[in-house]
Chains A and B, each alone.
Chain A
Amino acid sequence: MIFEGKQKIWSDYQKEIPSDGWFYVRSCIRQNFFPASEKYFLAVCRDLLGHDIYETRHHTTCGGIAYHSDTIPQETAMTIVARQFALMKEAGYKNLVTSCITSFGNYTEILETWREFPELEARIRENLWKATRREFDKPEHLAHASDLVYKFRGEIAERAKFRLVDKTAGRPLRIVEHIGCHYSKMFPHKGIGGAEYPCVLSGMVEAWGGEVVDYPERRHCCGFGFRQYLVKANRGYSVSNTHKKFESMEPYHPDAIITNCPGCPYFLDRWQYVIAEQTGKTYGSGGFGIPVLTYEELAGLVLGYDPWDLGLQLHQVAVEPLLDKIGIEYDPSAKYLGLDRKDIMRPGLPEVLKCC
């Protein structure tokens, strides 16, 4: 083995991520599905760890969902993205970090398209000027929010109040990581570890004391796939994809799933209820499901934030068994209390999938 050669090959799988100077853009759907995730990304990376991350209330969605659902042409999505770049320039920032995997894929695809077709970039510049009288600079670095959490995983581990360890059994928690197709499959060289060794989530899990589960369908799609779900006639295909993943991971008895993408946690979480109703089968122990968390929620948990402030009561699958394993204390009566301890009402309980 030539060590230098190995190092050269491995360096191709790395990604340069500056610690500071990031302009943050949010996701359109994450704020509805897992509303506290983005808040706690800023709370952890900006407020707790002190890194320079800026967001403006003037930014919008990237148009990625509409683009992937074939409802807007790519040029429209490009002009929306160009406006985000213009806002970044106006704020004095040069690096852009996205909350959403689809946004990350969308921004990357657009920048790559402009690199290949500069005349298209010129047309979008003209479109943006005509529509908004704005001009933009392309970002020097483009990252997904999980790239930053991965970079700061050591700092988070130093401040962690809990480890991803089963307190009673004294073993590391078995965590399934799900990367998301738009992170490592569209432009593999833009993600940490490429398509072969995507370690953005597994790096966090291992740094925080957990153990990553390797199972046959680890890189299979979660089942969202936009039109697979958005068109009702295709929805059976969507849930079948998710079912395939759960059947594959079941023998390894995972304690939790950590996800990278807005769609993945939603579908891996909600489809467990649908699969339970359709087949009578649940994948966690004691009739519960396998809790599905976003990486910000997991970071928040190890840092000791209140699970209900992290929005874990909005999950379909009950997270209490996981909290008990880690040894995180929580107040069951506060689960459905919102701001100012106002009752936000309780959801109906499913018949098959056990929930707290």
Chain B
Amino acid sequence: MIDFGFSLSKSSSIKLDEVDLSLYRRLEEVEPGVRICMGCGSCSATCNASKWSGMSVRKVILDLQRGRDMKEMLSCCMLCGKCSMVCPRGINTRHLILSLCRLYESGK
């Protein structure tokens, strides 16, 4: 193999037919409100932890829909609940995060 000084980057494309969406499906069962999220990002814009830790509820929901593990990001949430207050769809995002943490803890 020749070292060219650059190499192929891993593709970030997601094949939705192949990803494991079981965690998102279980979240839908306990928090049906997640289905009406329109990804506006109001929650992320108002998040106190966002600036320092990269926490974003919008990102959590979007990445779960793409089968990604979001456990690490959840640990950045301070559970202040400001995101719930600004959600135009009225989703209880604070409760959604707690439910998701419980799903991770129970290993379901």
A residues near B, CB below 8 A? 232-233, 235-237, 239-240, 243-244, 274-275, 277-280
Contacts and interface: CB of A to CB of B under 8 A. Distances in A.
A329 to B, nearest CB: 35
By secondary structure, the B interface counts as loop
Contact of B4 (A237, A240, A274): A274
Interface in B1-23: 1-2, 4-9, 11, 13
A240 B11 contact: yes
Given A277-B1, A278-B1, A232 B8 contact: no
A240 B12 CA distance: 11
A240 B9 CA distance: 6
A222 to B, nearest CB: 15
A275 B11 CA distance: 14
5 contacts: A239-B7, A240-B8, A274-B4, A275-B8, A277-B1
Contacts of A235: 4-6
Most chain A CB within 10 A, of B2, B7, B8, B13, is at B8
Given A277-B1, A278-B1, A243 B6 contact: no
A235 B6 CA distance: 6
B5 A243 contact: no
Contact of A232 (B5, B9, B11): B5
A288 B8 CA distance: 20
A126 to B, nearest CB: 44
B9 A278 contact: no
B11 A244 contact: yes
B70 to A, nearest CB: 25
Given A239-B8, A279-B8, 4 more contacts: A236-B9, A240-B8, A277-B1, A278-B8
